[in-house]
């Protein structure tokens, strides 16, 4: 049904009476989508109806008399130009109000582009730790290619080449998103080579070192110490355990949906008796969904500080938390567990479980994984004396 239209004038806008209830809209003839909205309380505002991607949207241009009819029509013209160019005028206006301050734009990027990713919390942490302190006072439009290079070099120079590569990837994606949103014209990180090379690690903790780390984790306590012990007993990835929810613990196993695993494939992690014992002694914060948390709302994120304290308490150096997975895999191999079962325990879909084997081999290995982790749990018990 076609909505009623009438040519609005400055005098008519002033004279139009409010409805008895609700709101009434008077569309300005000759200005498609522009309307005067009047509420039953007498408030008047100019609004613009438009379509983006086939969806009808509405934006408020301003309230009357703070904005006149002539000003509303000019705002309508500007908004129509945005629509014609494929831009959402409401978002354009929001950005004009917020400005292009790096932190404001980065927050929007995190919410719109990253919030549903498994690494969302890690990316937010990196942005707040490495980017905001350096670029927080700048406009996104003022950040140059040299600024990007200097930032990444500074991270690599402090002895964090892998961290520098991660920042390179996130910065590149952030600026590419900014280009797609018409915030900037060009990506200053485009075609910038990645810093250094990632060195393939082969660090495996000996039984003596693993015992020292286990004991130090006990001194470290909850939440990081208990999480470390669970990583030792399961061979799971750090974020799979660090972001563990109580709802993911089903009896004597952990059940992770595809959204929670690196390869997007659902994974079950059988809990040996020692692993189940660790979880039984974990304190539970009332109404919190998280197993390992310090505030009851978000998962633990201060792994670097926890790792430094763990090194201090254990006396074991030159290792990373991810090396625990390699240690578990190596330990299982020494205990006689076959390669396919080890890969199933680790949640790998490469190696012996890739290619044609991965397509046609649908065996879940649940029983084999349980037997393997029970054997590994008994080994950890024997070397640590728990």
Q: Quick check: 333 pLDDT over 90?
A: yes
pLDDT at 198: 54
- Cα–Cα distance measured from residue 276 to residue 375, given in angstroms and rounded to the nearest whole number: 14
- Cα–Cα distance measured from residue 4 to residue 301, given in angstroms and rounded to the nearest whole number: 57
Q: Quick check: 352 pLDDT over 90?
A: no
Lowest mean pLDDT among 1-5, 198-202, 375-379: 1-5
Phi, psi at 234, each rounded to 5°: -110, -25
Q: Please indicate, yes or no, whether the overall pTM of this predicted structure exceeds 0.75.
A: no
- Cα–Cα distance measured from residue 207 to residue 365, given in angstroms and rounded to the nearest whole number: 27
pLDDT-derived band at 96, boundaries 50, 70, 90: low
**Token pair belonging to 341:** 């079962």
Residue pair 332/342 in contact (Cβ under 8 Å)? The answer is yes
| Contact partners, residue 47, CB within 8 Å, separation at least 6 | 25, 34, 35, 36, 37, 58, 59, 60, 61
List the domains of the chain with CATH numbers: 5-88 (3.30.160.390), 102-180 (1.10.150.130), 207-384 (1.10.443.10)
Q: Model confidence over 44-61: pLDDT tens digits?
A: 999 999 998 888 999 999
What is the percent of the chain with per-residue pLDDT over 90, rounded to a whole number? 52
Q: What is the mean pLDDT of residues 17-40?
A: 91
pLDDT at 217: 96
Instruction: Using alpha carbons, list the distances in angstroms from residue 148 to 11, 50, 152, 351, 374.
Output: 55, 38, 6, 37, 48
pLDDT at 360: 41
Residue 84, classed as helix, strand or coil, is helix
pLDDT at 345: 94
Instruction: Using alpha carbons, list the distances in angstroms from residue 209 to 212, 319, 326.
Output: 5, 10, 14
pLDDT-derived band at 88, boundaries 50, 70, 90: confident
pLDDT at 154: 85
Phi, psi at 186, each rounded to 5°: -140, 150
- Cα–Cα distance measured from residue 204 to residue 227, given in angstroms and rounded to the nearest whole number: 19
Residues written for the chain: 386
- Cα–Cα distance measured from residue 50 to residue 337, given in angstroms and rounded to the nearest whole number: 63
Q: What is the mean pLDDT of residues 302-321?
A: 92
pLDDT at 356: 38
Phi, psi at 373, each rounded to 5°: -75, -30
Q: Quick check: 102 pLDDT over 50?
A: yes
Query: For residue 9, with 0-12 CB atoms within 10 Å meaning exposed, 13-18 middle and 19 or more buried, which class applies?
Result: exposed
pLDDT at 136: 85
Helices 224-234 and 366-384 cross at an angle (nearest 10°) of 120
Helices 89-98 and 69-84 cross at an angle (nearest 10°) of 110
Q: Quick check: 124 pLDDT over 50?
A: yes
pLDDT-derived band at 355, boundaries 50, 70, 90: very low
- DSSP secondary structure, 345-381, as one string: HHT--SGGGSHHHHHH-----HHHHHHHHHHHHHHHH
| Contact partners, residue 10, CB within 8 Å, separation at least 6 | 68, 69, 70
Phi, psi at 120, each rounded to 5°: -55, -45
| Contact partners, residue 67, CB within 8 Å, separation at least 6 | 46, 61, 75
- Cα–Cα distance measured from residue 302 to residue 227, given in angstroms and rounded to the nearest whole number: 12
């Amino acid at each position: 049904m076609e909505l009623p239209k009438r040519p609005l004038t400055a005098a008519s806008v002033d004279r139009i009476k409010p409805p008895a209830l609700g709101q009434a809209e008077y569309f300005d003839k000759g200005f498609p989508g522009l309307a005067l909205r009047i509420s039953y309380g007498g408030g008047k505002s100019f609004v613009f109806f438009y379509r983006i991607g086939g969806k009808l949207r509405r934006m408020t241009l301003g309230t009357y008399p703070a904005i006149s009819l002539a000003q509303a029509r000019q705002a309508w013209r500007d908004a129509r130009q945005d629509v014609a160019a494929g831009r959402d005028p409401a978002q354009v206006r929001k950005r004009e109000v917020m400005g292009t301050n790096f932190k404001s734009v980065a927050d929007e990027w995190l919410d719109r582009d990253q919030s549903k990713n498994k690494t969302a919390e890690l990316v937010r942490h990196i942005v707040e730790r490495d980017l905001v302190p350096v670029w927080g006072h700048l406009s996104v439009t003022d950040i140059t290619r040299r600024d990007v290079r200097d930032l990444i070099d500074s991270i690599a120079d402090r002895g964090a080449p892998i961290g520098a590569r991660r920042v390179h990837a996130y910065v590149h994606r952030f600026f590419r998103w900014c280009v797609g949103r018409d915030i900037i014209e060009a990506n200053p990180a485009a075609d910038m080579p990645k810093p250094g090379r990632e060195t393939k690690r082969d660090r495996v903790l000996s039984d003596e070192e693993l015992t020292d780390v286990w004991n130090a984790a006990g001194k470290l306590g909850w939440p990081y110490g208990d999480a470390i012990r669970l990583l030792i007993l399961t061979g799971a990835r750090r974020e799979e355990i660090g972001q563990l929810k109580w709802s993911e613990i089903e009896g004597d196993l952990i059940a992770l949906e595809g959204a929670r695993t690196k390869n997007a494939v659902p994974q079950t992690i059988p809990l040996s008796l020692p692993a189940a014992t660790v979880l039984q002694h974990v304190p539970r914060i009332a109404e919190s969904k998280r197993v390992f948390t310090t505030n009851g709302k978000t998962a633990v994120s201060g792994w670097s500080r926890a790792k430094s304290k763990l090194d201090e308490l254990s006396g074991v150096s030159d290792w990373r938390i991810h090396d625990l997975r390699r240690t578990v895999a190596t330990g299982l191999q020494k205990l006689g567990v076959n390669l396919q079962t080890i890969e199933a325990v680790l949640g790998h879909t490469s190696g012996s479980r890739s290619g044609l084997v991965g397509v046609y081999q649908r065996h879940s290995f649940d029983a084999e994984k349980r037997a393997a982790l029970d054997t590994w749990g008994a080994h950890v018990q024997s070397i640590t004396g728990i």
